[in-house]
C-alpha cells in the first residue's frame, strides 16, 4: 500500500502518545510505501524543527533514510502538474499532488481540507491516522 503522510500525521508518528506507532511499525516492516516530494520534505523539516527542535528533526530524517535503505519504501516523487484540488488551504495541495502523481492509495491526515479528494475522481483517499490503522493495519 502506498501512502502520503501529511505533516500533522507525521508528527503523531513520533509523538509522545503512541497513536501513530502502528503506522511507524508498518513503515519499518516495509508493509507501507511512503511517497514524498522535496516540497513535503522541506515542510516536514520546518514544522518538526519549529515544534520539537533540530534534534527531533534529525531523528525523523534518520528514520526516513533508514526506510529508504532498508526496504526502499520511500518514493521520491516530484509532481509536474498542480491539480489544485484543495481550495480551502492551497498549501495542502503539495500532499494531494504528490499522492496523485505517486498513484498512492491514501493520504494520512487529521486535516479535513483533504475531504475535497473524496469526490474529486482521483485515487488517493484521506484517512485520519486512527482510521488508517483500523482499516488497513
The Cα 43–Cα 26 span in angstroms is: 23
For 103-118, the pLDDT digits (tens) are: 999 999 999 999 999 9
CATH number of residue 114's parent domain: 3.40.50.1010
Using a pLDDT cut of 90, give the percent of the chain over it. 90
pLDDT digits (tens, 9 = 90+) for 9-68: 999 888 777 778 999 999 999 999 999 999 999 999 999 999 999 999 999 999 999 999
Percent of the chain whose pLDDT exceeds 70? 99
User: What pLDDT does 94 receive?
Assistant: 97
Tell me the average pLDDT of the chain: 94
Q: Which domain holds residue 130?
A: 2-136
Contacts of 75 (CB under 8 A, 6+ apart): 2, 33, 34, 35, 36, 102
Instruction: Look at residues 61, 30, 47, 51 and name the one whose alpha carbon lies nearest to residue 95.
Output: 47
How many domains is the chain partitioned into structurally?
Answer: 1
Amino acid at each position: 500500500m502506498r501512502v502520503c503522510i501529511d505533516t500533522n500525521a507525521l508528527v503523531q508518528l513520533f509523538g509522545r502518545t503512541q497513536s501513530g506507532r502502528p503506522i511507524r511499525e508498518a513503515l519499518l516492516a516495509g508493509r507501507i510505501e511512503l511517497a514524498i516530494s522535496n516540497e513535503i520534505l522541506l515542510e516536514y523539516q520546518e514544522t518538526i524543527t519549529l515544534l520539537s527542535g533540530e534534534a527531533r528533526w534529525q531523528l525523523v530524517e534518520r528514520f526516513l533514510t533508514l526506510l529508504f535503505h532498508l526496504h526502499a519504501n520511500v518514493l521520491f516523487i516530484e509532481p509536474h502538474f498542480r491539480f489544485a484540488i484543495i481550495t480551502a488551504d492551497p498549501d495542502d495541495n503539495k500532499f494531494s499532488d504528490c499522492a496523485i502523481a505517486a498513484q498512492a492509495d491514501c493520504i494520512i491526515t487529521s486535516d479535513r481540507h483533504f475531504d475535497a479528494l473524496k469526490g474529486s475522481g482521483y485515487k488517493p483517499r484521506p484517512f485520519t491516522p486512527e482510521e488508517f490503522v483500523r482499516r488497513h493495519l
